[in-house]
Amino acid sequence: MSFGKRLARLLVICFLPSVLAAQTAGYKPEWCKELPRPEYKTLQRVLPEEPWFEIYKFSQGVFAIYEPHQSEEVISYLIVGTKQGLLFDTGMGIGNIKSVVSRLTSRPVVVLNSHTHNDHVGDNWRFQFIYGMDTAFTRANAKGSREDAQAEITPDQICGELPVGFNSKTYATKPWRISLFVHDGFKVNLGGRTLEIISVPGHTPDAIALIDRQNGLLFTGDTYYPAPIWLYRPETDLDAYVASVKRLAALAPQIKLVLGAHNIPVASPDVLPRLVDAIQAVRSGKGEVKAEGAGKAMHTLDGFKFLLAEPKKGID
Ligand SMILES: [Zn+2]
């Protein structure tokens, strides 16, 4: 563990009691005050009694499964055809997404992850059939981990109530088994609807987008969503990211709707070519830059925000 990580952990341990006390006194984290996001007002909500997830129906067989009570505000998608369904990400693993899925469809469901960061694979372990990209990063993450998961449930990360029966002490990303390795161009026939994998490495080596060409839907994972895009972790490759967003931008004329994996599930396809311009301009030093603690900086340009690693100064 690096010195920085040790220090961060020590700070969490030192300040946790005071944050916990603050929470009992009606403490609300800053991000929580922005909720509910106005964009959701126009969407069709289903299963409104679900306590942890908010579920929205887009069209016949397309559902966004949103987790607004945790700061990642992660969004998983269930896409159902006449034969089977595909669950694109399984969320935090805080609520039981499998029980939600079984309320939305009685057909068999296969899991595919937009990438294998902990906030997208939390409930993989509950499913029998899981597609995985054939990368070392994917295989390493499939072993599970505790540290990233635990960092997601500190009081400043939670808005409202954790689900009844949730055990914060044992919370971890549980390991899962990959049933079949898949690749760029791999097609999944759901019956009356086909999804195709587009490999978009960059955010992580195993990042993918999913395209439903017939219905003009592009599911972009963490490669694009309408909120600050995190590109600071060591597994992020910015050159690869730029090449990948160029590939997605080329698809924009065929797309009606872009569905990302955090905060808000809808964006217009014209955002994709603008994203290419914005990330390239930011990399060439344009835009506004604000330090964001521990070696990160937020770069803002043309309505986009990118959280990037700051270049290392001197010897670490
Ligand atoms: Zn991610």
* Cβ atoms 225, 37 nearer than 8 A: no
pTM: 0.91
Ligand 1 mean position, distance from CA 117 (Å): 5
Ligand 1 mean position, distance from CA 26 (Å): 30
Ligand 1 mean position, distance from CA 113 (Å): 10
Low-confidence ranges of the chain (pLDDT < 70): 1-25, 312-316
Q: Give 172's Cβ-side CA count (13 Å radius).
A: 12
Ligand 1 mean position, distance from CA 106 (Å): 29
Which region holds residue 295: left if phi is over 0, alpha if psi is between -120 and 50, else beta?
left
> How does strand 187-189 pair with strand 180-182?
unpaired
Rg for the chain, CA atoms, rounded = 19
Ligand 1 mean position, distance from CA 207 (Å): 8
Ligand 1 mean position, distance from CA 4 (Å): 21
Tokens found for residue 34: 């922005």
Residue 10 has a pLDDT of: 43
Amino acid code (one letter) for 171: Y
Ligand 1 mean position, distance from CA 75 (Å): 12
**Beta-bridge partner residues of 111:** 87, 130
Find, among 144, 120, 150, the residue nearest to 12 by Cα: 150
pLDDT in tens, 4-46: 434 444 444 444 444 444 444 578 899 999 999 999 999 999 9
Cis bond upstream, residue 36 (ω within 30): yes
Find, among 161, 70, 176, the residue nearest to 122 by Cα: 176
Ligand 1 mean position, distance from CA 54 (Å): 20
